[in-house]
């Protein structure tokens, strides 16, 4: 859960470990109004720790200042609040694709003969699919590609790309399937069949923790992929912010965006923990028995 703190901490460590004045690293004086002003703004004088704490406190108060360079003068908070829903939608839609893959595999709807094809698709890097997606968007939506429908199409295509590229879909399908295959070799499954029960009813609670873990890892992977997809498809999400900030060396934006990514990841960790507890409770379920006199 301390992940959101780890990220800025690591970055801070990095800045102070690099040669040169942290202030001019964070934002060169000729941009940020003289080192003193800058030092005051980022409380750099107290060294790494104070800078880090100062930043955390401001962040807690949702004070991220304004963008230096990427969108000079626009409040970073505003940029973030505009970006987060977009990115979350993107990830959510992509997750739907991935989960569908998992479910289809679990239910055995996907024929195993398709595996080679699925594996192959999994090899395609996000960049390539994103480029194709961009071409598609531009051919279909053209001039209106920034209208609301165009924007949604970008999101949809982006989600599709994310969900399929870099082995997201194939990983979900093959991973889920192999998990179930291993479980189905357990003897109790065979017995369940002889008892007229469906195997999946029996195995699901037992494989759930493993599946949840896999799914969390996959969503983190999607987050990482969203950077490329958002930039190529010109989706104004966290990824675009992070990338733009990196190019323009807009430290405030990058620090905030990176931290937000970390926040999302740790939310996922929490979600995983909660789900696992729920499964454990489900497994322990049993009717209360009162002893007969």
Instruction: Report CA Rg, the chain.
Output: 24
> Should residue 283 be labelled a site residue for other proteins when binding is judged by CB under 8 A?
yes
Residue from 64, 71, 118, 129 touching other proteins (CB under 8 A): that is 71
How many whole angstroms separate alpha carbon 178 and alpha carbon 184? 10
> Should residue 160 be labelled a site residue for other proteins when binding is judged by CB under 8 A?
no
Q: For other proteins, which stretch binds (CB under 8 A), given 49-57, 104-112, 170-178, 186-194?
A: 186-194
How many whole angstroms separate alpha carbon 218 and alpha carbon 225? 10
Residue from 54, 246, 275, 276 touching other proteins (CB under 8 A): that is 246
How many whole angstroms separate alpha carbon 279 and alpha carbon 207? 10
Residues 40-69 that bind other proteins (CB under 8 A): 65-69
- Which alpha helices (H) appear in 63-198, and where do they start and end? 76-107, 115-123, 126-140, 148-164, 168-184, 187-194
How many whole angstroms separate alpha carbon 77 and alpha carbon 251? 14
> Should residue 263 be labelled a site residue for other proteins when binding is judged by CB under 8 A?
no
Q: Between 199-232 and 76-107, two packed helices, what is the crossing angle to 10 degrees?
A: 140
> Should residue 34 be labelled a site residue for other proteins when binding is judged by CB under 8 A?
yes
Residue from 60, 116, 195, 293 touching other proteins (CB under 8 A): that is 195
Residues 91-120 that bind other proteins (CB under 8 A): none
| Phi, psi for residue 75 in degrees, rounded to 5 | -65, 135
| Phi, psi for residue 239 in degrees, rounded to 5 | -60, -50
User: Nearer to other proteins by C-beta: 105 or 166?
Assistant: 166
Taking the complex as a whole, how short is the minimal distance between the CB of residue 244 and other proteins, in angstroms? 8
Taking the complex as a whole, how short is the minimal distance between the CB of residue 53 and other proteins, in angstroms? 20
Residue from 98, 162, 168, 268 touching other proteins (CB under 8 A): that is 268
Residue from 94, 161, 173, 227 touching other proteins (CB under 8 A): that is 227
> Should residue 125 be labelled a site residue for other proteins when binding is judged by CB under 8 A?
yes
Q: Please give the angle made by the CA atoms of 157, 162 and 163, to the nearest 5 degrees.
A: 95
How many residues touch other proteins under the rule CB under 8 A: the total is 101
Contact between 228 and 127 (Cβ < 8 Å): yes
């Amino acid at each position: 859960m301390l992940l959101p703190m780890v990220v800025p901490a690591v970055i801070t460590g990095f800045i102070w470990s690099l040669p040169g004045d942290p202030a001019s690293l964070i934002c060169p004086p000729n941009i940020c109004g003289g080192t003193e002003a800058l030092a005051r703004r980022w409380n750099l004088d107290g060294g790494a720790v104070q800078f880090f704490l100062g930043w955390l406190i401001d962040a807690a108060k949702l004070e991220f200042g304004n963008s230096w360079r990427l969108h000079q003068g626009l409040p970073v908070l505003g940029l973030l609040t505009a970006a987060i829903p977009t990115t979350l939608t993107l990830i959510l839609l992509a997750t739907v694709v991935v989960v569908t893959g998992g479910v289809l595999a679990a239910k055995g709807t996907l024929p195993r003969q398709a595996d080679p094809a699925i594996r192959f698709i999994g090899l395609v890097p996000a960049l390539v699919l994103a480029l194709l997606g961009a071409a598609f968007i531009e051919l279909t939506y053209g001039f209106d590609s920034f209208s609301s429908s165009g924007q949604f199409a970008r999101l949809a295509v982006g989600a599709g790309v994310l969900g399929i590229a870099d082995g997201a879909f194939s990983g979900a399908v093959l991973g889920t399937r192999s998990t179930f295959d291993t479980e189905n070799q357990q003897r109790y499954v065979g017995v369940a069949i002889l008892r007229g029960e469906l195997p999946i009813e029996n195995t699901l609670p037992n494989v759930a923790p493993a599946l949840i873990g896999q799914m969390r890892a996959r969503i983190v992977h999607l987050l990482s992929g969203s950077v490329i997809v958002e930039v190529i498809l010109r989706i104004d999400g966290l990824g675009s912010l992070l990338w733009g900030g990196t190019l323009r060396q807009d430290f405030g934006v990058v620090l905030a965006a990176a931290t937000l990514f970390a926040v999302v990841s740790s939310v996922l960790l929490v979600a995983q923990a909660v789900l696992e507890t729920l499964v454990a409770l489900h497994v322990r379920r049993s009717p209360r028995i009162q002893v007969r006199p």
